[in-house]
RNA sequence: GGCGCGUUCGUCUAGUGGCCUAGGACGCCGCCCUUUCAAGGCGGAGAUCAGGGGUUCGAAUCCCCUACGCGCUACCA
């Protein structure tokens, strides 16, 4: 509500690494960042974190932009739109990182590591408990620790003897404890002796690690809320310490709960952690994805489940985010998608979005009148759960069903022992009807009901099969009104002929 | 192994000491509406609030312990 107007503006930042497509976990983070900024009148920043040159995939940058745009999460500052604190691509900010790494050395907070760089790639996993168990004893003996206290002369000399550029490491405090605050979890404390040993800030290749780049960029971009996945909690003390060493104001840290599969395990492709583009191709609406993602670790309140991101802006507050992980429930996503299609989308919007799915379906409906298409779509709008269902649901409006053996089988198994006679009577009744309102058609068919003394479902069902080729379709009167008398009469005729040709009924 | 985070119906959640014999939603089941299928309406099953100790007149809500789950433990992010 209006309370949000009084909150300090949040400058949030979604910082993807261009190492893959935008997945639902990333989409959820971006959404929360966007909501935090919009709900407080702040700005949503997009920053490309491409400091890991080995895993970089240039092409994925564009895919990430596409995903965000599809969701409607427009960024206020970042690539393509610019902004006062650019550039917004880390590889273009290298001099800044070097400058501040230097500053840390000069002010006694960092030092050069003259050891040769380790082999590239992920280091060997700790497999033996025994090995891992003694880590804390060994930590004080890490080889690079000796450089921490080297004199200026020693360092000068070393620079001439090594062939590689030294990495720069942060001087972690040797005792005491570090306390940092997480918005959703409160204060978290660590004994400094248990923190990682002097992490690298600037790598031998001249690129910063996430830690340095994050602190420098967040400061100069004036990001004041750091929202990110909970896997970053262990780095929070280091990041807080970095800000304190620089003498910069710390942003608010806000760690988002994990999104898991239904089994509680890490979300994987198997669980639906597909790229956003795959959900798009499956006929999901961006509004539904956003709506569903917002419900992962946050709730709208007042028992309201269906809402737009604009509506969420009114109520979103980062301190209402829950700390517990949540599962990606495809059933609920599908329900939300159907709610949006059935009740939230306007007909015009629905038509516009469903149309492209006909191309994928292989049915060309471009020759049909726009009004005809719209009135056909209107009849399935309240029963489609996915956009991909629209073509099969409306197929018969654009293509006459085949009056073949399959149809004959459906007609004869429909529940009447005289389908041909009933269809012929219906044919006559509909031929004589007015075709102005639903009631014209219903009363026409009701004459058949009376004459044969059958249930309404019999003639309605037979005509449904004759006109659509299916046993399940929209309301038969509505559907016939859209199809028009010519098509309906002609299709019933074809069905009768097919029945007679096979000697049925 | 160490450190950290987490734990309310199968799932998403409401709930911040009494309104809770725990509310809503998805899914499931049944009924109604009805020319089919949906949608919609109504109802049902489903959580001793992870377990155990405290604090309190009173705890899902505060504290401690345990269990389990997850994360981190790189010159990756």
Length of chain A: 505
CA–C1' gap, A398 and B66, in angstroms:
66
Instruction: Give me the A residues in range 71-90 that sit within 7 A (CB) of strand B.
Output: none
CA–C1' gap, A157 and B13, in angstroms:
62
Which three-class secondary structure state does DSSP give residue A119?
A: coil
Q: What is the DSSP letter of A343?
A: I
Catalytic residue among A146, A191, A269, A413: A269
Q: What is the ipTM metric for this complex? A: 0.92
Tell if A128 CB is < 7 Å from nucleic strand B. Answer: no
CA–C1' gap, A329 and B26, in angstroms:
8
CB A387 within 8 A of CB A350: no
Which nucleotides along chain B are within 7 A of a protein C-beta? 1-8, 10-15, 23-27, 34-40, 69-77
Q: Give the per-residue pLDDT at A21.
A: 85
For residues A36-52, one letter each, b for 16 or more C-beta atoms within 10 angstroms of the residue's C-beta and e for the rest, the string is bbbbbebbbbbbbbbbe
Nearest nucleotide over every DNA/RNA strand to the A136 CA, judged by C1': B2
Q: What is the pTM of this model?
A: 0.91
How many other C-beta atoms lie within 10 A of the C-beta of residue A457?
13
Q: Give the per-residue pLDDT at A129.
A: 41
For B1, nearest residue by CA–C1' is A133
Residue A401: cis peptide before it, omega within 30 degrees of 0: no
Q: How far apart are CA A231 and CA A258, in angstroms?
A: 8
Side by side, the strands of the sheet bearing A177-182 are A186-191, A177-182, A252-256, A225-229
Q: Give the per-residue pLDDT at A29.
A: 94
For residues A358-372, one letter each, b for 16 or more C-beta atoms within 10 angstroms of the residue's C-beta and e for the rest, the string is beeeeeebeeeeeee
Per-residue pLDDT of chain A (505 residues; tens, 9 = 90+): 345 556 889 999 999 988 888 888 899 999 999 999 999 999 999 999 988 887 888 888 999 999 999 999 999 999 999 999 979 999 999 999 999 999 999 999 999 999 888 877 666 554 444 444 445 445 556 788 889 989 888 888 888 888 888 999 999 999 899 999 999 998 998 999 889 999 999 999 999 999 999 999 999 999 999 999 999 999 999 999 999 999 999 999 999 998 887 777 777 666 666 788 899 999 999 999 999 999 999 999 888 999 999 999 999 999 999 999 998 999 999 999 999 999 999 999 999 999 999 887 778 888 899 999 999 999 999 999 999 999 999 999 999 998 888 888 888 887 778 888 899 999 999 888 889 899 999 999 999 888 888 888 889 999 999 999 998 999 999 999 999 999 999 999 999 998 888 765 4
DSSP per-residue letters across A437-455: SHHHHHHHHHHHHHHHT--
Q: Give the per-residue pLDDT at A273.
A: 66
CA–C1' gap, A333 and B13, in angstroms:
15
At A2, list the tokens.
């209006």
């Amino acid at each position: 509500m209006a309370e949000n107007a009084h909150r300090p503006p949040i400058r949030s930042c979604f910082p993807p690494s261009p190492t893959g497509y935008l997945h639902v976990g990333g989409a959820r983070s971006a959404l929360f960042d966007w909501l935090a900024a919009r709900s407080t009148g702040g700005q949503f920043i997009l920053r490309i974190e491409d400091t890991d040159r080995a895993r970089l995939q240039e092409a994925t940058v564009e895919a990430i932009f596409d995903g965000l745009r599809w969701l409607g999460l427009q960024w206020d500052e970042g690539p393509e739109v610019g902004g006062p604190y650019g550039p917004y691509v880390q590889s273009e900010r290298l001099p800044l990182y070097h400058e501040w790494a230097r500053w840390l050395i000069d002010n006694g907070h960092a030092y050069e590591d003259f050891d040769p760089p380790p082999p590239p790639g992920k280091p060997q996993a700790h497999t033996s408990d025994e090995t891992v168990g003694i880590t804390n004893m060994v930590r004080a003996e890490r080889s690079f620790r000796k450089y921490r206290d080297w004199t200026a002369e020693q360092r000068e000399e070393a620079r001439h003897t090594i062939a590689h550029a030294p990495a720069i490491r942060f001087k972690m405090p040797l005792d005491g404890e570090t306390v940092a605050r997480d918005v959703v979890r409160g204060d978290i404390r660590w004994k400094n002796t248990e923190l990682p040993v002097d992490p690298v800030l600037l790598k031998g290749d001249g690129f910063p690690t996430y830690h340095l780049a994050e602190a420098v960029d967040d400061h100069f971009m004036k990001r004041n809320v750091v929202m990110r996945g909970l896997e970053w909690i262990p780095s929070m003390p280091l990041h807080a310490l970095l800000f304190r060493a620089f003498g910069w104001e710390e942003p608010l840290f806000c760690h988002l709960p994990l999104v898991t599969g239904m089994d509680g395990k890490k979300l994987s492709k198997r669980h639906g952690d597909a790229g956003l583009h795959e959900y798009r191709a499956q006929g999901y609406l961006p509004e539904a994805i956003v709506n569903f993602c917002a419900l992962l670790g946050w709730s709208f309140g007042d028992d309201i489940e269906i809402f737009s991101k604009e509506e969420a802006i009114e109520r979103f507050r980062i301190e209402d985010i829950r700390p517990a992980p949540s599962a990606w429930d495809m059933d609920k996503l599908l329900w939300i998608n159907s709610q949006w299609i059935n009740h939230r989308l306007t007909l015009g919007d629905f038509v516009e979005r469903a149309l492209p799915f006909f191309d994928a379906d292989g049915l060309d409906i471009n020759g049909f009148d726009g009004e005809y298409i719209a009135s056909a779509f209107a009849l399935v709008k309240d029963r489609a759960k996915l956009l991909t269902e629209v073509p099969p649901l409306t197929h018969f409006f654009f293509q006459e069903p085949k009056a073949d053996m399959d149809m004959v089988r459906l007609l004869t198994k429909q529940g009447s022992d005289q389908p041909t006679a009933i269809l012929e009577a219906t044919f006559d009744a509909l031929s004589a009807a007015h075709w102005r309102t639903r009631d014209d058609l219903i009363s026409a068919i009701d004459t058949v009901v009376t004459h044969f003394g059958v249930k309404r479902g019999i003639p309605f069902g037979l005509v449904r099969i004759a006109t659509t080729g299916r046993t399940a379709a929209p309301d038969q009167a509505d559907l016939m009104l859209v199809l028009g008398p010519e098509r309906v009469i002609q299709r019933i005729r074809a069905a009768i002929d097919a029945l007679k040709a096979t000697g049925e009924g």
